[in-house]
Amino acid sequence: MRICIAFPKGEIFAELQDTPTSRALMLALPFESSASTWGEEVYFSTPVSVELEPDAREVVDAGTVCFWVQGNSLALPFGPTPASRGDECRLVTRVNILGEVEGDPRQLAKIADGDAICLSAA
Protein backbone atom coordinates (compact mmCIF):
# COMPACT_ATOMS: atom_id res chain seq x y z
CA MET A 1 0.00 0.00 0.00
CA ARG A 2 1.41 3.34 -1.05
CA ILE A 3 0.16 6.85 -0.33
CA CYS A 4 0.91 10.35 -1.59
CA ILE A 5 0.98 13.29 0.79
CA ALA A 6 0.71 16.51 -1.24
CA PHE A 7 1.33 19.97 0.22
CA PRO A 8 1.88 23.46 -1.26
CA LYS A 9 5.66 23.05 -1.73
CA GLY A 10 5.69 19.46 -3.00
CA GLU A 11 4.68 15.92 -2.28
CA ILE A 12 6.08 12.90 -0.52
CA PHE A 13 5.25 9.22 -0.83
CA ALA A 14 5.08 6.55 1.84
CA GLU A 15 4.87 2.78 1.83
CA LEU A 16 2.44 1.37 4.39
CA GLN A 17 2.54 -2.02 6.07
CA ASP A 18 -0.57 -4.20 6.08
CA THR A 19 -2.04 -3.26 9.48
CA PRO A 20 -5.62 -2.63 10.64
CA THR A 21 -4.92 1.12 10.84
CA SER A 22 -3.29 1.23 7.39
CA ARG A 23 -6.29 -0.57 5.89
CA ALA A 24 -8.71 1.89 7.58
CA LEU A 25 -6.66 4.82 6.27
CA MET A 26 -6.65 3.46 2.71
CA LEU A 27 -10.45 3.09 2.80
CA ALA A 28 -10.79 6.77 3.80
CA LEU A 29 -8.71 8.08 0.85
CA PRO A 30 -8.66 10.58 -0.68
CA PHE A 31 -9.14 13.38 1.86
CA GLU A 32 -7.86 16.85 2.66
CA SER A 33 -6.67 18.24 5.98
CA SER A 34 -4.69 21.09 7.50
CA ALA A 35 -1.13 20.58 8.78
CA SER A 36 0.02 21.26 12.31
CA THR A 37 3.64 21.15 13.43
CA TRP A 38 5.17 20.18 16.76
CA GLY A 39 8.94 20.51 16.74
CA GLU A 40 10.12 18.39 13.81
CA GLU A 41 6.84 16.57 13.39
CA VAL A 42 3.95 17.24 11.02
CA TYR A 43 0.53 15.94 11.94
CA PHE A 44 -2.98 16.34 10.57
CA SER A 45 -6.46 15.06 11.30
CA THR A 46 -8.00 12.20 9.35
CA PRO A 47 -11.54 10.81 9.05
CA VAL A 48 -10.22 7.57 10.61
CA SER A 49 -10.90 6.35 14.15
CA VAL A 50 -9.08 3.22 15.36
CA GLU A 51 -7.85 1.52 18.52
CA LEU A 52 -4.23 1.40 19.72
CA GLU A 53 -2.46 -1.62 18.20
CA PRO A 54 -0.29 -4.01 20.29
CA ASP A 55 3.00 -2.81 18.73
CA ALA A 56 2.28 0.91 19.33
CA ARG A 57 5.37 2.94 20.32
CA GLU A 58 6.23 6.41 21.56
CA VAL A 59 9.78 6.62 20.12
CA VAL A 60 10.19 5.97 16.39
CA ASP A 61 12.70 6.53 13.59
CA ALA A 62 12.56 9.71 11.51
CA GLY A 63 10.22 9.16 8.57
CA THR A 64 7.97 6.65 10.32
CA VAL A 65 4.32 7.06 9.34
CA CYS A 66 2.41 7.02 12.62
CA PHE A 67 -1.23 7.21 13.63
CA TRP A 68 -2.03 9.17 16.79
CA VAL A 69 -5.13 7.35 18.05
CA GLN A 70 -6.24 9.99 20.59
CA GLY A 71 -6.21 12.72 17.91
CA ASN A 72 -7.40 10.62 14.94
CA SER A 73 -4.36 12.06 13.19
CA LEU A 74 -1.49 10.98 10.99
CA ALA A 75 1.86 11.96 12.55
CA LEU A 76 5.04 12.25 10.50
CA PRO A 77 8.13 12.86 12.65
CA PHE A 78 11.35 13.83 10.89
CA GLY A 79 13.43 14.89 13.91
CA PRO A 80 13.16 15.81 17.58
CA THR A 81 9.90 17.04 19.09
CA PRO A 82 9.44 19.03 22.33
CA ALA A 83 9.04 15.67 24.13
CA SER A 84 12.28 14.19 22.72
CA ARG A 85 15.32 13.28 24.77
CA GLY A 86 18.28 14.17 22.58
CA ASP A 87 17.88 13.53 18.86
CA GLU A 88 15.14 10.90 19.11
CA CYS A 89 11.71 11.23 17.49
CA ARG A 90 9.39 11.01 20.50
CA LEU A 91 5.67 11.50 19.99
CA VAL A 92 3.26 12.84 22.60
CA THR A 93 1.81 9.34 23.27
CA ARG A 94 2.18 5.83 21.88
CA VAL A 95 1.15 5.66 18.22
CA ASN A 96 0.27 2.95 15.73
CA ILE A 97 3.05 2.29 13.23
CA LEU A 98 1.83 2.34 9.62
CA GLY A 99 4.98 2.46 7.49
CA GLU A 100 7.83 4.63 6.23
CA VAL A 101 8.23 7.78 4.15
CA GLU A 102 10.15 7.15 0.92
CA GLY A 103 13.38 9.11 0.51
CA ASP A 104 14.61 11.82 2.86
CA PRO A 105 12.12 12.46 5.68
CA ARG A 106 13.60 15.99 6.04
CA GLN A 107 11.41 16.87 3.03
CA LEU A 108 8.63 17.15 5.61
CA ALA A 109 10.28 20.35 6.91
CA LYS A 110 8.79 22.09 3.84
CA ILE A 111 5.32 21.73 5.39
CA ALA A 112 4.25 24.76 7.43
CA ASP A 113 1.64 24.99 10.15
CA GLY A 114 -1.73 25.52 8.44
CA ASP A 115 -0.67 24.19 5.02
CA ALA A 116 -3.32 22.29 3.08
CA ILE A 117 -2.60 18.56 2.93
CA CYS A 118 -4.09 16.19 0.37
CA LEU A 119 -3.71 12.49 1.07
CA SER A 120 -4.38 9.99 -1.71
CA ALA A 121 -3.52 6.48 -2.83
CA ALA A 122 -0.42 6.35 -5.02
Q: What is the pLDDT of residue 5?
A: 97
Distance CA 73, CA 47 (A): 8
For the chain (122 residues), the mean pLDDT of every run of 10, in chain order, is 97 97 98 97 97 96 97 97 94 97 96 97 95
- CATH number listed for the domain at residues 2-121: 2.40.100.20
Burial 84-106 (b: 16+ CB within 10 A, else e): beeebbbbbebbbbbbbbeeebe
Distance CA 61, CA 79 (A): 8
pTM of the model: 0.95
Number of H helices, E strands in the chain: 1, 10
